[in-house]
Each structure stands twice: as C-alpha cells, then as structure tokens.
Structure 1
Amino acid sequence: MARRTGTRLFAGHELRALRQRVGLGQAAMAARVGLSVSYLSQLENDDRPITPAVGEAFAKAFPIDWNRDTAGDAERRLATLREAFADPLFATAEVGPQMLHRMVEQQPVFADQFVRLHDAWRRAEERLQLVDDRIASGVPGDDRLPWEEVRDWFHEEGNYVDPIDRAAEALADDLDAEPLPEALIAHALKHRHGVDIVTAADDGGGMLRRFDRARGLLTIGSAQPPETRRFMMAHQLVQLELDREIASVAAEARFRAAEAFPLLSVGLANYAAGALLMPYRRFRDTARGLRHDIDRLCQRFGVSFEQACHRLSTLQRPAERGIPFFFCRVDMAGNITKRHSATRLQFARFGGACPLWIVHEAVAIPDRILVQLAEMPDGVRYVQMAKGLVKPSGSFTRAPRRFAVALGCEVEHARDFIYADALDLGNPGAVTPIGISCRLCPREHCDQRAFPPAGRPIEVDADRRDVVPYRMS
C-alpha cells in the first residue's frame, strides 16, 4: 500500500509490483515513463517521493494499473478527477497535474462533488441521446421490445453483474481446472444435479440446446462447434448452481414487458457461463499479459472468438478493472445484435450504425481481422479490431449465420491492445472519422451520409450535384 508522509507519497513496493506484473525491467519502465533509471530506482526504494508530475507520467503510461496500485483515498480521488477532466467537454480547460493535485488536497469535497456532477451529466447525455435516437428513427414513446429492455439493463449495469460474476468465479475455483474441460463440466452436471448429456441431429428448427427438467436430460445440437457445445453445458451448470443468485438479481429489475424477466434470467445465465469458463481474475491477468490477443485467449481458455471478446467487455469489477472496452456484434444487414461500451463511445439503439465503421466491412470478409483508428465527433479516438465470423447451420437447407464482432478501446490504452500495433497512431491521415449514426452525427462533410442529421435544416441546389445531394444550413 502506498504511504503518505505529510503531503508526500511513497509507493516503492507498488512500483516494483507494477513493473514485475507488466514484465518490464527498470530501464524499459523508466523509458516508458520518461525518467532516468537512477530516479526510478530511488522511487522504488522509497528514497524519493512521487511528485504530482511523476504521478501523472505513471498514470498516462499505465492508466489502469497505476490508479489501482496507488489505492489510497487521495489517489482514488485524483484518478476519478483526472478521468473526468479527460472528457472532451473540458478540452479548452487549462487544468494541469499541479492543479488537480491541489484540488484533491485542498478541496476534496469539491473534487468529489465535481466528479459526481460530471457523472450525472454523462448519464443525462446518454438518456438524451437515447431520446434523440428514438425520435430520429421514428420509434414512438417507450416502445422497446422486451429484448431491448434487457439489452439496456445490462448497459445500465455497466455489463458487469458483481454477485453473478463472483459466484461463477467461486464455482470455477471449486472445479479447479483451466481451461475447464468438457468432461469436468459433464461430471459436475451428472454428480451434482443428476443431468445426463446427449447429442441430437438437427430437427429442422435450429435447436442449439434443450433441457428436459423432468428427465434430467440436456440435449445439444450435433452441429455445434466444440466451443459452443462447452458453453451450452456451462450455461446449464450455472443455471442450476446459481439459481438463487440469478433469481435475486432478476427480481430487482424493473421492466415494462413481462417477457423481459425470463429473457433477463437467460441473459444472466449466459453471463455466468462466460464467467465460469473465463474466471475474472485469471482471465483479466492473462489478457493483460497477452496484450488482449483474442486468438491466444481462445486457445488458453478454450472459448470462441466472440465469447472472449464479450468477456473482455465485462471486466469492470471495482478496484480490479480491466481496460475499458466497447464490444458489439453486427449482422449482415448492419443491425447491432449485441452491444456494450465501458468507454465514452455509445452505440445507436435504433436505426443503422455509421457506414464508415470497419465492422461492416468485416462482415463480408469472414475469418480475417481488420483494424481501424477511428475518431468520434467529440474528438475521442479509438483503436479497434473487427472480425467476420460464420456460425454453421448444420444443414444445406438453412443458410449459415454470418456476422462480425468488434472490440476497441480509447487510444490511451493502445499500448496494451496488440491490434493497435498495425496502426499508425501518430498519422492524422490514418484516422477515420465516424459517428453514432447518420441521424445523430453532426459531421457536415461525409460522403457516406445516408440521412441528414435530425433537427438540422438542409439546402438543395438544383444546379449543383455533389456526392451528398444536399447541404446543411
């Protein structure tokens, strides 16, 4: 634990632990932070305190680890205040490291209230964006479908459900195997719950999994790949093992449609299955060590590409957070069928997504990873990867399901995201300007615009024809 002497912060033990965890020698770490090796050695030996400027350098080089390792109240307050001021809303504010530190030390109550106010503003902006999205897309009132209510519930929870996640992690520790083999899951189902597993050919209805409670029989479609089969078995195990935890969380939800409650229970069981196959701490630490290389994570934990991407977007446990990622799945028609963002990027809930987004190209090119450096209208840049996937149908009479998944983070985390290595982050010409959707995007000069932004008048010149046949007033 970092210790303070007066207003001076000493964190030698935390610095050494951080350096060992990220696998850097003193010279490499000093170079990354911009210090001399001798200065870093003095910091690690508690011969020198960490000044505000040095603390900011570590926070910039290791944004997740540094905020966690210097875990005193003042440091946590400083981390949240720094994150708030990183919002493009304050782009013109001249607030440097010294000012932030003075605010934390001299006005801690004000700092806390400022962070709360900013957080409330962000939530209000998201709600306003939802209303704008609904109006612009012609969706009257709160006419969300039950599955949309459940989707938004997970979004509002930050896509992290603490009691379910911890219970699944405890179950994984009890089973004590990594990766968790199919035979061990089958053994747990049989000996803990009397459930037998059989495989059945496709009956023409696209059956993936069917559970007969009366007979204690789990049937899995024979066309499913090993990763999907294993996930289905894990789903059934957590549904039985964590039934109380799932029921307790679902009981606290507030939905308009009655059908949303069973959908939430299924969603929570899916969440728990992912947490069982990829236990929180082990998966997060492995992901950091592999720089979030999805293919290597799939090999290590025996999961599919989509399952690994989705799990990475859930690593938001307080005090043990992973990198904030956004994740989505898009079908051939451009519909976003899964979405979550732990970043400032938010997806359109109604209508289509930005056509410049690389995920659309990935749908048409299965099994190839594409990368993109994108910038939203607010100026925040993201590094992202997308991969097209094909799920077999098991029959010539039914077309396979084709879609793409995308995973990305803000550019400040690029060093820990292996896919950013293929991008020229310092080249302004390598940036692709994207938006949430055409109806919400304020960009005036975009050749891919499908609709004018809602609420903006347009001008049409009958004697001139550009790529977009109108201009915005």
Structure 2
Amino acid sequence: MAERSHKVFAGTRVRRLRRELNITQMQMAEDLSISPSYLNLIERNQRPLSAQILLRLADVFDIDLKELSGDDQSQAAASLKEVFSDPVFSETRISNAELTDLVGASPSAAHAVVSLYRAYRESLANNAGMAEQLANREGTQSQDMMRFPIDEVRDYFHDSNNHFPELENAAETLWADADLTIEDLYPGLRQHLKKAHDITVRILPVDTLPDITWRLDRHSRRLFLSEVLAPASRTFQLALHVGLLGHVGLIDEIVGRAGLAGEEARQLFRLGLANYFAGAVMMPYESFHGAAEALRYDIDLIGNRYNTSFEQTAHRLTTLGRAGAKGVPFFFLRVDHAGNISKRFSASGFHFARFGGTCPRWNIFEAFRTPDRIVTQLVEMEDGIAYFTLSSTVRGMGAGHRMPQQQLAIGIGCKIDYAKKLVYADGLDLDDQSAATPIGVNCRLCMRTDCNQRANPPLNRRVMVAENHRGISPFTFAQL
C-alpha cells in the first residue's frame, strides 16, 4: 500500500519554540540548514514541515516529534469543538480553522478552556444528581457522583499515552525474580504471593462469595477468588495483588506525581495502575511486542499464546509506547448496548465525545448482531483522516442463570497508514478513499449534512425548517 501523505503545518508551534529558545529566525534557519525566508514561510503556515526538517528540529533542539506531528493539536481542536458546540455558546460562531489556530497559538490556554468546560459539565451533572436524590429521598448514591473522578483518571491515562515505563520495568523484574513462565503463570504467581507476602490463594464457590469476585483478608493472610472468574481473570487478580502488595511504593509515587483532585480519584488511579501492572505481568512488554509484530496483531492468536482474553489482549496493545519498540498506535473503546462508554483511550488521534455516545455509522454496534465475530471497517473523520477499525463482542462476568453475563463491544483501530501491519486488513484496497465510511464524533458534534442516520442536529447550529422539501438528513442546519 502506498503511504498516505499527511502534511504537517506547524508554523505557530515552530514560532513558539523559537521564541521560547529566544533565538532569531536567522539563527534557527542556520541551525536547520534552511534559508530564513523559507523558515518565515513555515512559521506563516505557507509551507509544511518536511520529514527532514522535522528530524532536524528534533535533533538540534531536543524536542519530541509528537509536539510537531499534529496529532495532539488535532485532538485538542476536537476537544475545543465539543466545548464551543455547547448551547451556552449559541451566540458564538467559531470555525474549525479558528479552533486549530487557537490550539497552535496557545495550547496551554486551549487546555485550560477544556478543563474549565469539563468542570462546568461535571458540576451541572453533579447538581442534577443531588437534586434527584433530594427529590426521591431514597436509593443509593447516584452513579453520576462516581463518574467524575473516573473521568479525571481516564484523562490522566490518556495524557500519559497509556504507558508507564516504571511499571513495565517492575513487571519484567518480577518475571526474573519469581522465575515466571507463560505456561505456569497462575501457579507461579500463586507461589510468589505465598513466598513474598505470606498470602494464600483460595477459590471459593459462588454461594460463599455471592456478591463479590475477590476479597483479601489481611488478618488471615488469604486471598479469596470467586469461582465465577474465568481463568484469565483469576491470573489477572493474582498479578494485580502482587502489584498492590509488592509495589505499593512505586504506585503511590506515580499517584503523587499525577496531582489528581480528591482522594476518590487517587484511589481509582491507584487501582488503575495496579491493573496496568497486572496486564504487564501477564503480557511482558518485550515478548508481547515481538509476538504482536510477528503475528500481525492477530488478537485471537496473541491471546492464545498468552492465555489472555480478547479484551485483555486488545487493551494491552494500546500500551506499547516504549521508546525504540513502539507498537501500532491504537485507539480503544468499550461500549454496552445502550452506547455507554466504559473504557476509552486514543493513541491515534481518534476523537471520542465525552458526552453523547458515538456515531451510528461506525459499525461497533454491528458487533452485537454478530457475537464473537470480528467486524472491520474503514472510516473517515471530519478532519479527513482515515482509520481502520475492528470490533467484536466480549462477555463480562456472570454468575449463572440469575446473573447472565454482560455483553459488551470492543472497538480498536488505527490510522489507515498502519493498517497494512494488521492481518485483518489483508485483501482490502486501503488506497480507495471512497471505501471509507464518513463518520463523526457523534450527532451533536458532527457537521456532515448528508447523513441519513443523524439523530440530532449539531449543537450551536440553527436548525433551518423547510416545509416544501426534505433532504436525506432529517435536519437541515445553518453552516458557519
């Protein structure tokens, strides 16, 4: 497949870098071995950054290429688009080009605006939840009250590119110290818990542990696991507790650096880091990355090799960010039948909405109609970037007839430039842009006028009511 060219116009970022370094255009041009006039054109976004100049910038000024690649700017612009699509800004008309300019000129200010908007939305939902409780005067704590610390933790994982080198190193050290093997990972971890922490593991019947899947009794030094846990989940729980018991100092250090607001968010992040460590133990980085490349990211085959579930394997693929040994940058999404997003991460620039579900044109929900089969799709976002996606259902924990397994859909994908590395893309014409399905973030944030599946008009756009005709979309709206 021919590589798609994605021109990088980063004039504002280059100009900001030059000013931060306190050097003139002539000095920077000399360092980059280009003429001052050409640098001036770059800073005015009249010339793109070539690969050679990008590499020269990284080498001379010791910066991360990601800062200039456009992925972060595209993601930030999408977040700002969601902010300014809120009805509170109904009198404000800001074009996509203006949003991109704002991010490029002042990324810190753009990030602050997004953070302020998130706090505003969470305050609204928080007040609504409390009002509902006061009105009902009964029931348990609203789930909305728990959602916001979770969002804060998810954002930190996203901002960290879902990669924590210290935890990767700790997992690899554990493998060497405990002499672990893939074939005997569960008994090896069980033995390590006993030897290193004097913890005995017991599997208990569901009628003994009717409402919980595991419990650590520190007094009796026993870890109880419910029989409803699948083998891969049992191994995961042992690895998680090795992290909580043996690497509490390291985990607390990372939590402290995060600067999260509130103890609830810190506790959730601590557990999230322990989960990350468990995944790194079950699928150690070096061998897992090698297997992923050799097996061309065949999730089922990789899972068979490491005795891991589809979801565990797919999620682990999003963490392959080690310098010098990076994997395909995937995005990851987990949804239920109602469209609720319970997991999300994007290393590829794919845009998720914080509120309002997903695009009905994206076939992630098609997976529910074909359980246990992988469905693929080429999609194109509004910014013109194409992605290759694959979706499949997974089953959550269940406990027999009275508590059937939860059915969820996993969506994972990458920019189309990486698709040739995936076995799932074999036989597809990845150069045929007409084969890509045009999608948006969701209906409220999508400006496409030719969508017959639109459920709502865009926020911050005036609906134009026509009594003498109707297009393929049920809504006609004014453009900026």
In structure 1, how many angstroms separate the alpha carbons of the residues matched to 2:399 and 2:235? 17
Matched, 1:330 2:282: no
In structure 2, how many angstroms separate the alpha carbons of the residues matched to 1:311 and 1:359? 19
What's the CA shift for 1:93?
A: 6.7
Aligned CA distance change for structure 1 residues 347 and 456 (closer, same or farther; 3 Å)? same
For residue 348 of structure 1, the aligned residue among 353, 377, 381 is 353
Q: Is the contact between residue 376 and residue 434 of structure 1 (CA under 8 Å) also seen in structure 2?
A: yes
Deviations 1:248-285, CA, capped at 9 Å, x for gaps: 11122223333111111111100000001111111111
In structure 1, how many angstroms separate the alpha carbons of the residues matched to 2:179 and 2:306? 13
Q: Is the contact between residue 150 and residue 263 of structure 1 (CA under 8 Å) also seen in structure 2?
A: yes
One-letter amino acid of the structure 2 residue matched with residue 125 of structure 1: A
In structure 2, how many angstroms separate the alpha carbons of the residues matched to 1:111 and 1:240? 38
One-letter amino acid of the structure 1 residue matched with residue 216 of structure 2: F
Trace 1:189-338 onto structure 2 (pairs within 5 A): 189-203=193-207, 206-338=211-343
One-letter amino acid of the structure 1 residue matched with residue 175 of structure 2: A
Matched, 1:183 2:135: no
What's the CA shift for 1:243?
A: 1.1
In structure 2, how many angstroms separate the alpha carbons of the residues matched to 1:102 and 1:253? 34
Unaligned 5+ runs, structure 1: 1-31, 34-55, 58-76, 79-89
In structure 1, how many angstroms separate the alpha carbons of the residues matched to 2:244 and 2:328? 28
Aligned CA distance change for structure 1 residues 244 and 135 (closer, same or farther; 3 Å)? farther
Tell me whether 397-406 or 136-145 shows the greater mean CA deviation.
136-145
One-letter amino acid of the structure 2 residue matched with residue 189 of structure 1: L
Q: Which residue of 1 aligns with 2:390?
A: 385
Deviations 1:203-257, CA, capped at 9 Å, x for gaps: 5754222111121111111111111111111111121121111111112222333
- Quote the RMSD (CA, aligned, Å): 3.3
Tell me whether 140-149 or 338-347 shows the greater mean CA deviation.
140-149
Q: Is the contact between residue 331 and residue 363 of structure 1 (CA under 8 Å) also seen in structure 2?
A: no
Aligned CA distance change for structure 1 residues 93 and 329 (closer, same or farther; 3 Å)? farther
For residue 80 of structure 2, the aligned residue among 128, 132, 137 is 128
Trace 1:54-69 onto structure 2 (pairs within 5 A): none
In structure 1, how many angstroms separate the alpha carbons of the residues matched to 2:287 and 2:223? 29
Matched, 1:154 2:157: yes
Aligned CA distance change for structure 1 residues 107 and 273 (closer, same or farther; 3 Å)? closer
In structure 1, how many angstroms separate the alpha carbons of the residues matched to 2:61 and 2:289? 34
In structure 2, how many angstroms separate the alpha carbons of the residues matched to 1:162 and 1:267? 15
Q: Which residue of 2 aligns with 1:451?
A: 456
What's the CA shift for 1:456?
A: 1.6
Q: Is the contact between residue 384 and residue 406 of structure 1 (CA under 8 Å) also seen in structure 2?
A: yes
What's the CA shift for 1:462?
A: 2.1
Q: Which residue of 1 aligns with 2:176?
A: 173
Match of 1:345, SS? coil
What's the CA shift for 1:108?
A: 6.6
Q: Is the contact between residue 172 and residue 277 of structure 1 (CA under 8 Å) also seen in structure 2?
A: no
Aligned CA distance change for structure 1 residues 134 and 471 (closer, same or farther; 3 Å)? closer
For residue 101 of structure 1, the aligned residue among 42, 48, 52 is 52
Tell me whether 463-472 or 166-175 shows the greater mean CA deviation.
463-472
In structure 1, how many angstroms separate the alpha carbons of the residues matched to 2:382 and 2:337? 26
Deviations 1:358-407, CA, capped at 9 Å, x for gaps: 21111332211111111111111111111112234122112320101111
In structure 1, how many angstroms separate the alpha carbons of the residues matched to 2:201 and 2:220? 11
Match of 1:469, SS? coil
Aligned CA distance change for structure 1 residues 362 and 103 (closer, same or farther; 3 Å)? closer
In structure 2, how many angstroms separate the alpha carbons of the residues matched to 1:308 and 1:107? 33
Aligned CA distance change for structure 1 residues 402 and 425 (closer, same or farther; 3 Å)? same
In structure 2, how many angstroms separate the alpha carbons of the residues matched to 1:367 and 1:124? 35
Unaligned 5+ runs, structure 2: 5-30, 33-42, 90-116, 124-146
Match of 1:471, SS? coil
Tell me whether 204-213 or 342-351 shows the greater mean CA deviation.
204-213
In structure 2, how many angstroms separate the alpha carbons of the residues matched to 1:190 and 1:388? 36
Q: Is the contact between residue 454 and residue 474 of structure 2 (CA under 8 Å) also seen in structure 1?
A: no
Match of 2:443, SS? coil
Q: Is the contact between residue 364 and residue 388 of structure 1 (CA under 8 Å) also seen in structure 2?
A: no
One-letter amino acid of the structure 2 residue matched with residue 192 of structure 1: A
In structure 2, how many angstroms separate the alpha carbons of the residues matched to 1:245 and 1:114? 29
Aligned CA distance change for structure 1 residues 195 and 318 (closer, same or farther; 3 Å)? same
Aligned CA distance change for structure 1 residues 353 and 206 (closer, same or farther; 3 Å)? farther
What's the CA shift for 1:175?
A: 3.0
In structure 2, how many angstroms separate the alpha carbons of the residues matched to 1:418 and 1:128? 35
In structure 1, how many angstroms separate the alpha carbons of the residues matched to 2:455 and 2:196? 55
In structure 2, how many angstroms separate the alpha carbons of the residues matched to 1:279 and 1:128? 37
Matched, 1:163 2:114: no
In structure 2, how many angstroms separate the alpha carbons of the residues matched to 1:105 and 1:419? 35
What's the CA shift for 1:129?
A: 4.3
Q: Is the contact between residue 283 and residue 306 of structure 2 (CA under 8 Å) also seen in structure 1?
A: yes
Matched, 1:145 2:96: no
Q: Which residue of 1 aligns with 2:129?
A: none
In structure 2, how many angstroms separate the alpha carbons of the residues matched to 1:232 and 1:115? 35
TM-score by length of 1: 0.74
Q: Is the contact between residue 331 and residue 402 of structure 1 (CA under 8 Å) also seen in structure 2?
A: yes
Q: Which residue of 1 aligns with 2:135?
A: none
Q: Is the contact between residue 456 and residue 475 of structure 2 (CA under 8 Å) also seen in structure 1?
A: no
Q: Give the paired residue count.
A: 390
Match of 2:444, SS? coil
Q: Is the contact between residue 136 and residue 454 of structure 1 (CA under 8 Å) also seen in structure 2?
A: no
What's the CA shift for 1:111?
A: 10
Aligned CA distance change for structure 1 residues 201 and 463 (closer, same or farther; 3 Å)? farther
Q: Which residue of 1 aligns with 2:102?
A: none
Q: Is the contact between residue 274 and residue 311 of structure 1 (CA under 8 Å) also seen in structure 2?
A: yes
